[in-house]
């Protein structure tokens, strides 16, 4: 099956710092989503981004589908950004919207 790898696995930042999280996938995908799982376990949608670039406040994401990777940028990090960031991909046509998740990047932002 498809492999979804995220890096780095763990990241510690000082408040105010910027960071880039990466998601590599091993096959062509129909779609890609980025999620933030907060310390209480809730998965929150950040971006639906099968290709191109999107921005939402301090967060932005870029997916280069032809090269099979996506990047999530966090600028001016805040302690509330702490948690686990997952990318999830849907395989090609006929995959029925089923998502395969990466292993996540665990982010801790220190005050």
Q: Which stretch binds another protein (CB under 8 A): 12-20, 60-68, 75-83, 97-105?
A: 97-105
| Tokens 């994401």 -> residue | 61
Query: Among 43, 59, 65, 71, which residue sits at the site for another protein (rule: CB under 8 A)?
Result: 43
Among 39, 57, 66, 94, binds another protein (CB under 8 A): 94
Q: In the complex with another protein, which residue's Cβ is closer, 15 or 44?
A: 44
CA 38 to chain CA mean position, Å: 13
What gap in Å lies between CA 83 and CA 36, rounded to an integer? 7
26-to-49, 89, 102 alpha-carbon distances in Å: 17, 10, 11
Nearer residue to another protein within complex by CB, 17 or 101: 101
Residue 100 neighbours by CB under 8 Å, 6+ apart? 1, 2, 4, 88, 89, 90, 91
Q: Which of 3, 42, 78, 80 binds another protein (CB under 8 A)?
A: 42
Residues 15-34 contacting another protein, CB under 8 A: 30-31, 33
Residues that bind another protein (CB under 8 A): 4, 30-31, 33, 35, 40-43, 45, 48, 50, 86, 88, 90, 93-94, 96-104
């Amino acid at each position: 099956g498809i492999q979804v790898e995220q890096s780095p696995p763990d990241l510690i930042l000082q408040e105010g710092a910027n960071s880039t999280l990466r998601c590599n996938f091993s096959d062509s995908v129909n779609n890609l989503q980025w999620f933030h799982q907060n310390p209480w376990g809730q998965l929150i949608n950040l971006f639906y981004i099968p290709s191109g670039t999107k921005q939402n406040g301090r967060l932005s994401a870029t997916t280069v589908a032809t090269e099979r990777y996506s990047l999530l940028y966090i600028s001016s990090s805040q302690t509330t950004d702490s948690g686990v960031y997952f990318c999830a991909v849907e395989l090609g046509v006929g995959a029925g919207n089923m998502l395969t998740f990466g292993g996540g990047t665990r982010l801790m932002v220190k005050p």
